[in-house]
Structure 1
């Protein structure tokens, strides 16, 4: 199972991120996140924040999930649901939206203190439902990492590959 240290090791080994690009949140930033959510955030998410909460190179760079974007994701998800579901679907009680892509899709877990590594749910604009991915928080992060690792295996260091053209590495 993926955890904080293996996550960092794989980011670096796959060249998805350089060591200096992997930036965790400070304890005061994590406190701000916890206070803003007013929910008992699970340990798996807090571990992620400590190791990569402010960025991890190219890993999921196009997704709003890093500090301090996550502070407003629940509000943005509610707006997305208002626009696309017109009041027919609302976020569950204790939902914590931890990732949003392009304002049309988001991931969340239930932060009720019952799990240190909770199941993740997915919403895509106009679906009319939340989909239980039947994966934990770290499972979802690992699934994304596998995709990024595969993209980098395919593109290698070719400066003309789509993934490298799209990202200006330091």
Structure 2
């Protein structure tokens, strides 16, 4: 099921021709380079639209290859601003907004929560109970930003 593609096209953020995912080999390379196993919902997102997703993700680092450096960037910013919190070693940062808001999940765990650490936070908060629900809300927010009174029937 290509749920992420359906949501992006349904929200009017992209035509299918504007959506491009990563290959299984590319996703496997990311896992191998980090010695992790990515959650299945995130793997589906990457395979469906992880490289390009139309209007979605243009102002955040959520698409390939931008997310690859987020773990390193988080620690650099944490050191610069004196943030003592360090996430578990299994944390995978998949999204950041202007270096001030970082989202991550834990790999190899039954914990499917999406965590966020914003400017000024000393500990993360849970922003979503799953990657899929995080993406549903993110795509809906993008639709709201681009269109006045958008049709939300794609969310049903």
Residue equivalent to 1:99:
95
Mapping 1:84-95, distance limit 5 Å? 84=81, 86=82, 88-95=84-91
Q: Which runs of 5+ in 2 are unaligned?
A: 151-156
Q: Output one character per residue of 1:57-109: Cα deviation in whole Å (capped at 9) or x when no partner.
A: 1112111121122221111111121122x252112221110001111111001
SS at structure 2 position matched to 1:58: coil
In 2, the alpha carbon distance for the partners of 1:14 and 1:139 equals 15
**TM-score, normalising length: structure 1:** 0.80
Mapping 1:123-138, distance limit 5 Å? 123-138=117-132
Asked whether the 8 Å contact 2:83–2:122 carries over to 1, the reply is no
Between Structure 1 and Structure 2, whose CA radius of gyration is higher?
1
> How many residues of Structure 1 are paired with residues of Structure 2 in the alignment?
150
**TM-score, normalising length: structure 2:** 0.87
Runs of 4+ in 1 over 6 A off after TM superposition: none
